[in-house]
Amino acid sequence: MPEFAGHYEALDQIAADATALQQCLRRTPIGCSRVLTDRVVEAQALAAAALQLFLDLEREPTRDQAHLLCLDLLARAAKAAQDASAELTAALARAVENERRRRDATTSPPVLLRPTPQQFVTSAADLLDGLLSSHRELPRLSAAPVPSAR
């Protein structure tokens, strides 16, 4: 599939960025809203990169099975990144709300909302597994014989 070589490299970069984000989410507890906001932006950038690659590949005239499978893979990767971004945004909103509740509580312990921000972060990391599992299908696609476009 030589015509897709550049696309595969771009998809490899998206997967590498997703792996880095996922590892960061799993290894480092998020202690401030600034860091969490940065993670939201990273997840959104992954989705944007996958969607841009989808558009680039969709414009190519080839419509064989491998081409369609690659489009499907990219669509699923974009969805996984967008879903992870949504979970991280929910974590950010929950963290801010819980902080507000802590500050408002003057005499008794605050009632904090659940799920916790960290639970949303864990969910986001799990959602990135979807992007990475889509990427793991890539070697099978590139090894498959490519039917003629004629």
Q: Contact at 8 Å (CB) between 122 and 88?
A: no
Mean pLDDT in the chain? 83
For 27-90, give the DSSP string. Answer: HS---SHHHHHHHHHHHHHHHHHHHHHHHHHHTSS--SHHHHHHHHHHHHHHHHHHHHHHHHHH
pLDDT for residue 107 is more than 60 = yes
Instruction: Look at residue 148 and tell me if it is in a domain.
Output: no
Instruction: Look at residue 111 and tell me if it is in a domain.
Output: yes
Per DSSP, 137 falls in state T
Confidence at residue 129, expressed as pLDDT on a 0 to 100 scale:
87
CB atoms within 10 A of CB 12: 12
Buried b (16+ CB within 10 A) or exposed e, 25-39: beeeebeeeeebeeb
Instruction: Look at residue 12 and tell me if it is in a domain.
Output: yes
Instruction: Look at residue 8 and tell me if it is in a domain.
Output: yes
pLDDT tens by residue, 49-88: 999 999 998 888 877 888 888 888 889 899 999 999 999 9
Instruction: Look at residue 14 and tell me if it is in a domain.
Output: yes
Instruction: Look at residue 117 and tell me if it is in a domain.
Output: yes
CB atoms within 10 A of CB 20: 11
Q: Which domain holds residue 50?
A: 2-143
Note the pTM of the prediction, 2 decimals.
0.82
The Cα 32–Cα 146 span in angstroms is 49
Instruction: Look at residue 149 and tell me if it is in a domain.
Output: no
Instruction: Look at residue 114 and tell me if it is in a domain.
Output: yes
Considering its fold, how many domains does the chain have in total?
Answer: 1
